[in-house]
Amino acid sequence: MRILISGGGTGGHFFPAMAALKSFQEKGFDVYYVGSRRGIEAEKVAAFTADFLLLELSGMLGHSALKKLQAGWQLVFAVKELLLLMRRMRPDAVVGFGGYSSAAAIIAGRLMGVPCFIHEQNAIAGLTNRLLDRVTTRSFSAYGNIGEHVGLPLRHSALVPAPADEREHLLILGGSQGSLFLNTFVGDHLGELTDLGMPVYHQTGSLMHEKHMQMLHERYGRQLPANYLPFAFSDDIHHIMAGSVAAISRSGAGAAFELMQLRVPSLFIPFPHAAHDHQYANAKYFEDRGCALVYRQEEFERGAMDKVRTFLSCVDQYHGNMQGLEIDTDASTLTERIIGAIRMS
Ligand SMILES: CC(=O)N[C@H]1[C@@H](OP(=O)(O)OP(=O)(O)OC[C@H]2O[C@@H](n3ccc(=O)[nH]c3=O)[C@H](O)[C@@H]2O)O[C@H](CO)[C@@H](O)[C@@H]1O
């Protein structure tokens, strides 16, 4: 059987797509990936598969009318290109994980009469997936808010937590693109953070890293504290997560599920402009289960370091609650349901 997988733009869509791609391959399927030339996939996809196509696609949300028009044209051309591709490869299913490329693949799949599936990663679905949900064979979601509840497919490296005595640092994580808010927080409190008594790993984001380092050197001089370990983006992030006593993080679905799966007590500060405030809902789900703490940005800013210290004094309690946390992060849950649905169609 042949599966066409699409989804990307940010890591939050791309990495679950790669976890599913791997799972289908392990079950003996041929998998072809379609993404955008502008997304994270342009740099990362070759490490996962040689069978891929990157199209000229961009986002519509939050852009000027002209950019929206351009994105609309790109979508029409992408659908045309995908129809030609699908005529050649004759896929048995199309699976979309969100992001610009996903809608084009699902539209082309429907026009070809191929069974189509989507996976929604967030606790509140975006408009595109709510519309696509009406035309897919079946829909799936990480939090159970649309379609069938299957959890979030994670890469193998995110599946096994480290023992408590191998955890030694604090992680500050901005998400695949980094977070200016968290970078500013680190800039304002570098001394207090590095005085907490453990190394501080800080993921700044590839586009912001240089500027962040320049800002720190201007404020604190050339010599930064030796236990401050900033990095732009790491392909080995799960290793860094697994060694964390605790994390202060944005709550993109990927980061939230990975930190919870790796049993890292987390203080989440949702990105306030995420569509329909989905990052808040993503984080709240885990706060309600006693495994995380959530602060809105403006709330966190009032006495931020006191909040961090109080949170760190409770990590054992969060860690204890996490032992009973049940989340599905095995990509097979999703891929087996899709295979079952293809066989029935
Ligand atoms: C700003 C924004 O709207 N972000 C959205 C984007 O996710 P965004 O990509 O921002 O964030 P996520 O936390 O969902 O995913 C980040 C992914 O990048 C990986 N990573 C990160 C840093 C690093 O150094 N190395 C690395 O590999 C993480 O392991 C994770 O798998 O899509 C998600 C899924 O729809 C949404 O929940 C987020 O709200």
Q: Is the CB of 254 under 6 A from ligand 1?
A: yes
> What's the pLDDT at 162?
87
> What's the pLDDT at 163?
86
Q: CA–CA separation, 50 vs 60, rounded Å?
A: 29
**Residue 279 annotated as part of some ligand binding site:** yes
Q: Is the CB of 177 under 6 A from ligand 1?
A: yes
Q: Spell out the domain ranges in the chain.
A: 2-153+330-344, 157-322
CA distances, 55 to each of 23, 34, 288 (Å) = 24, 7, 40
**Residue 138 annotated as part of some ligand binding site:** no
> What's the pLDDT at 44?
98
Residues of the chain with pLDDT under 70: none
Residue nearest to atom 17 of ligand 1 (CA): 11
Strand partners of residue 32: 4
The answer to whether 2-153+330-344 and 157-322 have equal CATH topology is yes
Q: Measured in angstroms, how far is the CA atom of residue 131 from the centroid of ligand 1? A: 23
Q: Measured in angstroms, how far is the CA atom of residue 200 from the centroid of ligand 1? A: 20
Task: Name the CATH code of domain 157-322 (choices 3.40.50.720, 3.40.50.2000, 3.40.50.1460, 1.10.3720.10).
Answer: 3.40.50.2000
What letter would DSSP give residue 162?
P
Ligand 1 pocket test, pick from 155, 176, 261 with the greatest ligand atom count within 8 Å of Cβ, gives 176
> What's the pLDDT at 68?
87
Helix (H), strand (E) at residue 219: helix 209-220
**Residue 12 annotated as part of some ligand binding site:** yes
ipTM of the complex: 0.99
**Residue 155 annotated as part of some ligand binding site:** yes
> What's the pLDDT at 140?
98
- Please provide residue 35's backbone torsions phi and psi, each rounded to the nearest 5 degrees: -140, -165
> What's the pLDDT at 100?
82
Residues 285-338: tens digit of each pLDDT:
999 999 999 999 999 999 999 999 999 999 999 999 999 999 999 999 999 999
Residue percentage of the chain with pLDDT more than 90: 91
Amino acid in the structure at residue 331: A
Q: Place domain 2-153+330-344 in its CATH homologous superfamily.
A: Glycogen Phosphorylase B; (3.40.50.2000)
